[in-house]
Amino acid sequence: MQGSMDSKDPLPPAGSTEPTPPDDGRAQKRSDPLIVPIRSLGPGHRERIARHLLALDEHDRYLRFGYMATDEQIRHYVDGLNFERDQIFGIYNRKLDLIAMAHLAFATAAEYRLCAEFGVSVLKSARGRGFGARLFDRAVMHARNEGVELLFIHALSENTVMISIAQKAGAKLQRDGSETEAYLQLPPATLDSRVSEIVESQLAEVDYRLKAQAKQFRDFLVALQGRRRGDPLS
């Protein structure tokens, strides 16, 4: 399955970097409503994606990519992202920092054309909120609507969060020493799944525009306060 992905990508999607949240009876319920605007990312977000991944520490990079990725390797991975073929999803905070992102990579080989691979990362400051699971749900929805029948996840066996997300979705697991592979059979697309994706995409775009406007206004106020103080750098 791994060989089906584009061999030019030095760091294929792998596991999650999100640690297991406290088991308080709420975070573990996938059915609990949690509205998280998830935006599709394009080439114009490449630098923000790079900043997000470069902010991961060594252990997080190890969990995300399966080995200790260097800054240079991460840059190479980001430069090689194929936004026309794959789908990249992101979650922004109010400062427009990319705090979580997922890569849904579609297979390029003809014999695996109905397969895709999922990888996700969440910054430490944004963990414990279920963002990894929500990104997974969003990726599954898009994969279904694109005709994908088998979603593949490759993770380190110690990456209990990613494995837990896959298990709760009904994926079949195969462990091989320090690595685990999960296979999730996806149902066909429905009218509901297609409409839901359209609605979620529109909500995410509205949320992003509102956050951008709010940030611009905050920046304006900061600059205005600086001028009132006579700050020559404002």
| Residue range 16-62, pLDDT digits in tens | 665 544 444 434 444 444 578 999 999 999 999 999 999 999 999 99
Asked whether residue 115 is assigned to any structural domain, the reply reads yes
Element housing 121 (H / E): strand 115-122
What pLDDT does 16 receive?
61
92 closest CA partner among 133, 58, 123, 136:
123
Q: What is the pTM of this model?
A: 0.77
In a domain, 9, yes or no: yes
Residue numbers of the domain that contains 172: 2-19+33-228
Report how many domains make up the chain.
1
- Tokens representing 16 are 């999650």
Per the domain annotation, does 25 fall within a domain? no
**Domain CATH code at residue 224:** 3.40.630.30
Query: Exposed (0-12), middle (13-18) or buried (19+): which is 8, by Cβ within 10 Å?
Result: exposed
Q: Is the pLDDT of residue 234 over 60?
A: no
CA dihedral sign of residues 226, 230, 231, 234: positive
CA distance 32 to 208: 23
Q: What dihedral angle (degrees, nearest 10) is formed by the CA atoms of 191, 182, 77, 72?
A: 150
Q: For residue 27, tell me if it sits in a domain.
A: no
In a domain, 234, yes or no: no
In a domain, 191, yes or no: yes
Residue 141 contacts by C-beta under 8 Å, 6 or more apart in sequence? 193, 196, 197, 200
Asked whether residue 80 is assigned to any structural domain, the reply reads yes
- Which structure tokens are listed for 45? 């977000």
Residue 106, domain member (yes or no): yes
pLDDT tens for 199-214 read 998 888 888 888 888 8
